A and B are shown apart, each in its own frame.
Chain A
């Protein structure tokens, strides 16, 4: 069959065409990646369900019923069954996504901002300042992240904001490391020397020439942290260090449903399944973003 292949026509790269900006190219690349589309679609669905939970959810997430405890999946009126206190599980999963996603995204965003700033500074200044900053952060880095998160939030006490702070502190050293190493690479390139030759101030050089080239790799690394953050947050809640009952949160739900694992295993597994699916989707999307952003090298 003489199928016409969608070859890029030579005209498309001719001189007359205006260049696309870097992010436009990345976006186009992402839209063509089926994995990115699938992962993005799943995430969008989960996020939408969480955000619009008050309007979409079929029941009240706090309304318990002693008679309707641990109903199996597909019971009439309770699509995904009920939990150990007879609350509608679908509703609680939708509401639970709000806190779980919040705890996945907020610490990573905060660590991305703080870590990039510290990393840029340490990497650009170099020398002894860099050494002091990096060695101090290495102390944090030396602990496994789960242990560190548990230790910090244990010290701060349970609660949502404390677990957010704990998770941010866990991620900052990791982001700083990436930002610092990329900054050091970028700093020794000739275009930085050329910018120095132009008499520009260090601030202007960092803003115009360093930041733009460091942000990409750090962003990719941070997207990979989203799933870790969600799992750690769920772990903290599971251990009783995060959100307190009766607040719906996936990790906490996994904990409280643990006792039902023998009587009603499918219902008990649902929060864990959601954590799993969400973090996998974040990871796949991060991988796609990484390859989409790789076009320049």
Chain B
């Protein structure tokens, strides 16, 4: 018997216009060991009310400083850890309540590529065994799974005849990351989460892997959730960009809007921190001073206010909502400067990056 769900690629629900993944009000607070007895329990607000959606066949890039909750968001979406609150809708189906078989089926459609290419491969398995492991878990006979694994290795640019029986330590970082990509593709997922997938590779290898990712996306109609701190790479790969700061989304929109007409002072500071290719445009001044505030006790109101060059009294009083930017569809930012009714003295002035 061949059940329809076994056919690949997985059937698409709701057609193209429906987003593949919708995340609503996702929250994850990690408890911190309290300093003494009886004190109030403290929490790290790792992900604090995150909303976003990823359209089918597009790439959403998530950027932000270390510790802003990018990777936690990815793990929550992948259900590698339980969320404290919030809902996930994957291809029109609620995910949060998935257990057992449903979760197994969901994971067939969603795969992840990790940053550390070595730690993400079992040193005791040959790379073909690693790639074939997932399909075997889902009931593919061993011989067929191995055959598919070899084909996939060929597809990601590793000659199966030479590489299939090798162990991870015999491969270079770029080759290992290709194995990780092959494993992620082993059962035709719809969504692939790339968690800093190219960050540990050197530039030339990074470019090759990025091109491979682009090809695979076009070839298989994949949707990517691409997490990175490298703004160049995000610019190259993404259709949409989401900027996170201290567990919250502060700006999201199409890549050209974010890189061309940002509507948030933090995004602007991030972008101006990118070294320019043109020596005449290089600046010595640090665009942003200090570290992000402690996520255990985030500042009141806008979380960015104590590092923001344009902070005002209103920023401490009220947290800005993620609101649509006037005249730009799909572009949202959480800043009082964009809202003339917010009470910020500079509000409504033209923002240009």
Interface residues, chain A, with chain B CB atoms under 8 Å away: 15-16, 18-19, 22, 189-191, 193-201, 204, 208-209, 212-213, 296
Contact = CB atoms under 8 A, between A and B. Distances in A.
B70 interface: no
B284 interface: no
B326 interface: no
B100 to A, nearest CB: 10
Given A19-B167, A296-B169, A198 B122 contact: no
Interface string B161-172: 011011101100
B112 interface: yes
28 contacts: A15-B159, A19-B126, A19-B165, A19-B166, A19-B167, A22-B124, A189-B119, A190-B115, A191-B130, A193-B112, A194-B120, A197-B107, A197-B112, A198-B107, A198-B137, A199-B103, A199-B134, A199-B137, A200-B134, A200-B137, A204-B137, A208-B122, A208-B125, A209-B122, A209-B125, A213-B122, A213-B123, A296-B169
A213 to B, nearest CB: 6
| Secondary structure call for the A interface | helix
Given A190-B116, A198-B133, A208-B122, 16 more contacts: A15-B159, A19-B126, A190-B115, A191-B121, A193-B80, A193-B112, A193-B114, A194-B114, A194-B180, A195-B133, A197-B78, A197-B107, A199-B107, A199-B134, A204-B137, A208-B125
Interface of B: 78, 80, 103-105, 107-108, 110-112, 114-116, 119-126, 130, 133-134, 137-138, 159, 162-163, 165-167, 169-170, 180, 183, 186
B105 to A, nearest CB: 8
Contact of A190 (B114, B137, B170): B114
A209 B110 CA distance: 21
A175 B182 CA distance: 37
Contacts of A198: 107, 133-134, 137-138, 186
Nearest to A204: B137
Contacts of A201: 137
A182 to B, nearest CB: 13
Given A194-B183, A197-B107, A296-B169, A15 B123 contact: no
A199 B5 CA distance: 15
Contacts, number: 75
Contacts of A199: 103-105, 107-108, 134, 137-138
A10 to B, nearest CB: 14
A297 to B, nearest CB: 9
Residue picked from A15, A198, A208, most chain B C-beta under 10 Å: A198
Contacts of A190: 114-116, 119-120
Nearest to B104: A199
A80 to B, nearest CB: 47
Nearest to B195: A190
B162 A15 contact: yes
Contacts of B124: 22, 212-213
Nearest to A191: B122
A197 B138 contact: no
Nearest to A18: B165
Given A19-B126, A189-B119, A296-B123, A194 B112 contact: yes
